[in-house]
Structure 1
Amino acid sequence: MTASTSAARAARPAWEERPSPAGRAAKGTALTLIVASVVFPIYMVVLTSLSTQETVTRAGGLVSIPGGLSPAAYKELFAGGVVTRAVLVSLGVTTTGTLISLVVTVLAAYGLSRPGSLFHRPLLFMILLTFLFGPGLIPNYLLVSSLGLIDSYWALILPSAVTAFNLVVMRAFFMNVPTEMTDSARVDGAGEFRILWRIVLPVSKGVVAVIGLFYAVGYWNSFFNAVLYLNDNSKWPLQVVLRQYVLQGQSLVVGQTSDTIAGQPLPPSLAIQMSIVVLALIPVLFIYPFVQRHFTKGVIIGAVKG
């Protein structure tokens, strides 16, 4: 080893050095344990939802070793129509709410990212103020009630249409778009909407995808607004149905008076509960892998450089 090589190694920080075999083994073990701690509970939930009464009884709870498998729990869920309707409600609210939230957030973030925009500082101050002070539950309810949104799906969308954190992150990202690109477009006669659509959004796909995922997960997992504003249980989303059945043990099959469905014994209640959990997890697990690659570019860059 030459003196120049030793000096170069000494000048490099420790995290740039090649890890030792022991270090690589320790990292692999730690990552394996983390992945197992995430995957194994999901595996138990899915397996329990497909298990028979005998298997659940033998396991004494959640099933970890496969035994008798049956889709009876899922058949019961969709037999009464309650879960089917709740899934459709959740999908509709999530899709509509995410689109509205993205449109409003993009427009507001772009306007606030332009230093010369109208009421730039007062609006930005009001948005940042919401990080420190919330409106409270009673004022929120009175506002929704005064707008006539009780028992309306809009009560699940409008109160949470814009999140200050998402708006600030997107604004920070927009501020890092090179001004030379927007200035040249203005010289060519492009208006602000055309600049946003043709120049800013194409280079901001990462942050838009991540913020859209944040909004979608928030709408999909939200249940408190539905409990608060919806008195008609036929309009309940899936998360409220999940809460009502798993926590309160209410029946999901309308008019159920026997212990059988179509001559077949009812599946164990624990399997039914876990099947609802699986239905609630599927959309997030399906969408996340397609969006996770944008996280570093979309959120961290915008948050740090902003």
Structure 2
Amino acid sequence: MRRLEISKIVIYLMLFAFTLMVLVPLLHLLALSLTDPGKAHLMGGLDIIPKGFSTINYQLLLSNPLITGSILNSVWITVAGTFLNLLLTSMAAYVLARTEFIGKKFVLFFLIVIMVFEPGMIPEYLLVKDLGLMNTLTSLILYKAINVYYLFILMRFIQDIPEEILEASRIDGAGHFRLYSRIILPLSKPGLATLGLFYGVYHWNEYFRATLYISDPSKWPLQVVLRQFVVRKDNTSLIGNQNMFDSSINFDFASLQAGTIMIAIVPLLFLYPFILKYYAKGELEGGVKD
């Protein structure tokens, strides 16, 4: 028992250390973004309390049309893209997991080939260009409308739904659409929540293809603006907005970077609690009586 208790203490200490390694940098960025620009140089790398609380950095960032426009673009790409992803993935998963049709094995084999050997960037770029989707948000929404790997995950989840439930619905006269909408989707909420989180994070963090397909800065998602500002250190788009504030304020570039990063991170942090409530056990308990 003593060895067991010691091992637990060691495990807890390790988990606590890993948590600090993740949490402290985030808290430092938050504190830096809320620090008075004149005192930002006093912030150390491990400081998690702002020095002279101020929201001036966020006022400057959110007063910039490029920042606010990019946030709206990212929200639209994430919401529309995730909805389309879940709709098409769940439909395909139901058909492949719960129906039989000619050529089903070939379709599954073809999907595996697509998953292993993805098309290169050049064919993808030419396809987007031929479809007339260049410089449009639709090019980012439609990309990987169905992720084959996630499709197989959801297929496995749907296969675990007892056949007796579906058979009872068929006896009551339910067709495929009713089975899909009234049985499969409600019982697949944990799986759909998982995939929705994966799809949503992917769309929210999209920047590589946005730099390839979108040339108009007004259509850039937030991550592209974040990369221009934080990675490439291009702050020219923010200088024009400083005249809206007191000329005595000397904005700190590092604080503005931290504020931009927090704006990109916070929506995902708020998303997790809403997703986690669907990770409920016992969804199928009581559904079938042996």
Aligned to 1:287: 271
Deviation digits for residues 211-270 of structure 1 (CA, Å, limit 9, x no counterpart): 111111110011111101001111001000000111222236467287883434142001
Letter in 2 for 1:57: H
Which stretch shifts more, 249-258 or 183-192?
249-258
Q: TM-score, normalised by structure 1?
A: 0.85
Letter in 1 for 2:207: F
Aligned to 1:3: none
Q: CA RMSD in A?
A: 2.4
Which stretch shifts more, 87-96 or 256-265?
256-265
Q: 254, 260, 263: which one pairs with 1:270?
A: 254
Aligned to 1:233: 217
Unmatched 5+ residue regions in structure 2?
A: 283-290
1-side partners of 2:155 and 2:274: how far apart? 23
Give the greater-gyration-radius structure (CA). Answer: 1
Distance 1:226 1:97, change over 3 A: same
Letter in 2 for 1:69: F
Letter in 1 for 2:95: G
Letter in 1 for 2:130: S
Cα deviation for residue 91 of structure 1 reads 0.5
1-side partners of 2:281 and 2:117: how far apart? 30
2-side partners of 1:266 and 1:80: how far apart? 17
Cα deviation for residue 272 of structure 1 reads 0.6
For the residue of structure 2 that corresponds to 1:111, the secondary structure is helix
Unmatched 5+ residue regions in structure 1?
A: 1-16, 299-306
Q: 125, 141, 149: which one pairs with 2:109?
A: 125
Q: TM-score, normalised by structure 2?
A: 0.89
For the residue of structure 2 that corresponds to 1:198, the secondary structure is helix
Aligned to 1:111: 95
Letter in 2 for 1:51: T
Q: Is the 1:113–1:172 contact (alpha carbons within 8 Å) kept by the matching residues of 2?
A: yes
Distance 1:113 1:247, change over 3 A: same
1:141 and 2:125 are equivalent in the alignment? yes
Q: Is the 1:83–1:252 contact (alpha carbons within 8 Å) kept by the matching residues of 2?
A: no
Aligned to 1:301: none
Cα deviation for residue 34 of structure 1 reads 1.7
1:49 and 2:33 are equivalent in the alignment? yes
Deviation digits for residues 100-131 of structure 1 (CA, Å, limit 9, x no counterpart): 11100000010110251353212211111122
Aligned to 2:82: 98
Q: Is the 1:78–1:84 contact (alpha carbons within 8 Å) kept by the matching residues of 2?
A: yes
Q: 128, 131, 141: which one pairs with 1:157?
A: 141
Q: Is the 2:61–2:238 contact (alpha carbons within 8 Å) kept by the matching residues of 1?
A: no
2-side partners of 1:249 and 1:28: how far apart? 40
